[in-house]
A and B are shown apart, each in its own frame.
Chain A
Amino acid sequence: QKEVEQNSGPLSVPEGAIASLNCTYSDRGSQSFFWYRQYSGKSPELIMSIYSNGDKEDGRFTAQLNKASQYVSLLIRDSQPSDSATYLCAVVGGYQKVTFGTGTKLQVIP
């Protein structure tokens, strides 16, 4: 079982729609959760962090965490073509190790 799992996509959504990106993790001792955005040919950029159960909103982005289900998601409202990128989920586990998923490629269609 992969430590951090993401659907590789591509996930295609029309401009203005809500994009929903999902991530599951295997380490129940995980403490911190992050979403990184990586444009093609560029390096990952941190866009959201979440540490406790529930929702965290930042502009058009909402991170959702459910530790009981070992599930973290990222919602992007009013998706724009500039949101087209690969989104990486990262989890800090019980041994303080950062583990990344393979990423979900998002395509926002104008």
Chain B
Amino acid sequence: ETGVTQTPRHLVMGMTNKKSLKCEQHLGHNAMYWYKQSAKKPLELMFVYNFKEQTENNSVPSRFSPECPNSSHLFLHLHTLQPEDSALYLCASSQDDGTSGVLSTGELFFGEGSRLTVL
């Protein structure tokens, strides 16, 4: 138990569906992230929210839409995905010490991930 909870753990969706991934952290951290993990590729940073403000959007297609209503919750809204979007989506949190406007720590706490399959 890392203190970061993701739901659902598994999701199968068609290319025309709309679904959302949810992440909640109980660690009191002020930064939250979405990462994509595909086979034989490094973890890809998708979005960063720091103090609820989006500080990074790593050239992610608009079919992925993040939402961060508060510092404990993070959503990833999915719409008209492609089969190549099938991957493990990981949420993470960290405590940013505020010395940088972006990210000042690599000490990330990951959730268990949401395994997404797009048919």
Contacts and interface: CB of A to CB of B under 8 A. Distances in A.
B103 A96 contact: yes
A42 B11 CA distance: 16
Interface of A: 4, 8, 32-34, 36, 42-46, 49, 88, 90-92, 95-103
Nearest to B35: A100
A29 to B, nearest CB: 13
A97 B50 CA distance: 13
Given A34-B107, A49-B106, A90-B106, A43 B100 contact: no
Interface in B77-105: 90, 100, 102-105
Chain A, interface SS category? strand
B43 A100 contact: yes
A102 B2 contact: no
Contact of A91 (B2, B106, B107): B106
B75 interface: no
Contacts of B111: 43
Contacts of A90: 106, 108
B40 A102 contact: yes
Contacts of B113: 43
B51 interface: no
B116 interface: no
B40 A92 contact: no
Contacts of B102: 95-97
Contact of B106 (A34, A42, A101, A103): A34
B69 interface: no
B112 A98 contact: no
A98 B104 CA distance: 9
Nearest to B103: A96
Contacts of A92: 103-106
